Structure 1
Amino acid sequence: MNTRENPAIEITPDALPLHCSGPQHETWNGHPRVFLPIQSNGDIECPYCGTRYYLKGDIPHHHY
């Protein structure tokens, strides 16, 4: 999940929906906002900048 070269940014379910616009940049010079489909207790990498995210916890169910 985490590597030294590219450690994952840990997020919680209340931070969803997950999107990346380049966390190392200011808003004006980041890449386009990309929404990332993450799974409960899973991780995903942004296809633009390679930033890795880890979702700690379960995604709440909104529809029953």
Structure 2
Amino acid sequence: MSTTWQEHIARHTTTALEAVRSVVKSGDFLVFGHAVAAPSSLSKALYDDRERLTDVKAFHMLYFAEP
């Protein structure tokens, strides 16, 4: 059966909250990107799901190297 790219994308697309609920568990350690890689929608979803999650640790680093 042939699938259009639109159908493929629709099957593989989810909301940030659905992604958080299906992947992040209590006690997980998360590593966040920064600047353009900062996952603002995922950060909001984590906040929105805060009642379900406990002891989740997040690591974020902004590194300034010597020139």
TM (norm. structure 2) is 0.24
Q: Which has the higher helix share?
A: 2
Q: Which structure has more strand as a fraction of its residues?
A: 1
| TM-score relative to the length of structure 1 | 0.25
Larger Rg: 2
